[in-house]
Amino acid sequence: MGLALASVAGCAGSEQCSKDADCATEGLCEPTGFCSFADEECPTGRRYRDEAPAGQAGACVLVGGTTTGVALPPTAGAVDDASSSGSSSSTGATSTGAESTDTGPVDPCTEVTVDKGLGHFGGGLYATEEIDPNLGNQAFGERFELRFNNALTGDFNLGQLQWASYATCPQCLTVVETGGRTFFATEGQISVDAASQPMEGTFSVQLADVVLSQVEIDPATLTTTIVDGGACLRLANTELESLVVDGWHCQTGAYVDSACHCGCGVLDPQCETAAADACEACDAPGACAKGLGCPTGISALDNSVCDPAGWDCALESFGAGDGVCDCGCGLIDPDCGPGGVELCDVCGAAGACGGIGCGAIDPNNIGTCD
């Protein structure tokens, strides 16, 4: 942090501050907005006075002005005032009493990167669990999400206008710790390529100078409130695109999550073996045995495909690679992919729902009849 380490007596005066001048002699204004004084017994050499608020009173100042080691974004007033006064508490200057060396501003945000290919989880939701580095709380699983609420393309400023809330953002960037903190993009730019069709499963975007702040999102209204003194993340400039896995005919979200999905045309990397008894999920949108109960219908030795014995129509039409989606034949044709009755090309083949037609197809499982 570049804080002064000289030992002095505690400072007197107001504990709340926006600049070092608000504190008594030798006092520094921390990014939390409260004064500290030098104490050689603290790892950073700084300590809050006993009159500071609960949780800070008498505690050692650690990373970013906190007492927990979690970096906080500095208050706007502290940054502005420190920049004009040459303060060492917010600019990274090291004070020796006779002279100071400016080492440049300290970035309070943790820089992270994400997997460039995001799995599709349906609608406009894409996500990956690949966040580097780990945020440090091993008790929680981490997830990076990019949600499209419409097919809008172009260049947009995150954190402004409708992009300022999860309730209204046309494109929403979040990092979520399951059961823990939530981060929402409050700064930066997103550029959505004109050829993107995010609601249909494809997109390409570029992100620049993105900062995600710790927030609370109301589960009912989706109102988004930045946590006072919360942590923040900085996402390196990145080009993101929808994940494509050759031969995989389920939603790609099933490919990047932690379960062993079966019947999707390609062996899921989460499966310990290719045997049917390794299957944990067979109901991903597009899975050929959807609705039958795992591992019913799955090939015993190759869990990426279904046992054709469960196919009621002409065997040559099952996964023929002809782009024709045959429905109502007992299994979901791998030529169909994730989706509903709108995907069906043929519903009246011999053995399919008694030849009644697409009106008899189960809208939730196009391999069977309603």
Give a yes or no: residue 7 inside a domain: no
Rounded average pLDDT over 175-193? 92
Tell me the pLDDT of the chain averaged across its residues: 82
Same domain, 212 and 333: no
Give a yes or no: residue 353 inside a domain: yes
Q: Is a pLDDT exceeding 80 seen at residue 76?
A: no
Provide φ and ψ at 144, rounded to 5°: -100, 130
Task: Please provide the DSSP assignment of 17-77 as one string.
Answer: -SSGGGS-TT-EE-TTSBEEEE-TTSTTSEEE-TTSPTTTTTPBP-GGG-SSS---PPPHH
Strand partners, 147: 125, 172
103 falls in which pLDDT band (50, 70, 90)?
A: low
Range of the domain at 320: 311-370
More confident position, 19 or 77? 19
pLDDT of residue 73: 47
Same domain, 227 and 133: yes
Answer whether 334's CB lies under 8 Å from 342's CB.
no
Provide the number of structural domains found in the chain: 4
Give a yes or no: residue 8 inside a domain: no
More confident position, 42 or 190? 190
For residue 305, how far is the Cα from the chain centroid?
31
pLDDT of residue 53: 73
Same domain, 75 and 151: no
Rounded average pLDDT over 118-127? 94
Lowest-confidence range among 45-49, 86-90, 265-269, 275-279? 86-90
Q: Is a pLDDT exceeding 60 seen at residue 45?
A: yes
Give a yes or no: residue 201 inside a domain: yes
Give a yes or no: residue 12 inside a domain: no
Q: Which two tokens stand for residue 335?
A: 């030529």
Same domain, 231 and 115: yes
Q: Is a pLDDT exceeding 80 seen at residue 14?
A: no
Give a yes or no: residue 229 inside a domain: yes
Give a yes or no: residue 79 inside a domain: yes
pLDDT of residue 78: 40
Rounded average pLDDT over 311-320? 87
Q: Final residue of a domain: which of 102, 134, 164?
A: 102
Same domain, 136 and 170: yes
Rounded average pLDDT over 256-273? 94
28 falls in which pLDDT band (50, 70, 90)?
A: confident
Q: Is a pLDDT exceeding 70 seen at residue 365?
A: yes
Lowest-confidence range among 148-162, 291-305, 308-322? 308-322
Same domain, 93 and 155: no
pTM of the full predicted structure?
A: 0.65
pLDDT in tens, 207-252: 999 999 999 999 999 999 999 999 999 998 999 999 999 999 999 9
Answer whether 101's CB lies under 8 Å from 107's CB.
no
Give a yes or no: residue 255 inside a domain: no
pLDDT of residue 97: 46
Residue with tokens 């007197």: 12
Same domain, 165 and 224: yes
Instruction: Report the C-alpha gap between 317 and 297 in whole angstroms.
Output: 17
138 falls in which pLDDT band (50, 70, 90)?
A: low
Same domain, 83 and 155: no
Task: Please provide the DSSP assignment of 152-167 as one string.
Answer: --EEEETTSGGGGSTT
Q: Final residue of a domain: which of 65, 80, 102?
A: 102
Rounded average pLDDT over 18-43? 80
Same domain, 315 and 301: no
Same domain, 226 and 280: no
Same domain, 141 and 226: yes
Same domain, 225 and 144: yes
Rounded average pLDDT over 140-147? 88
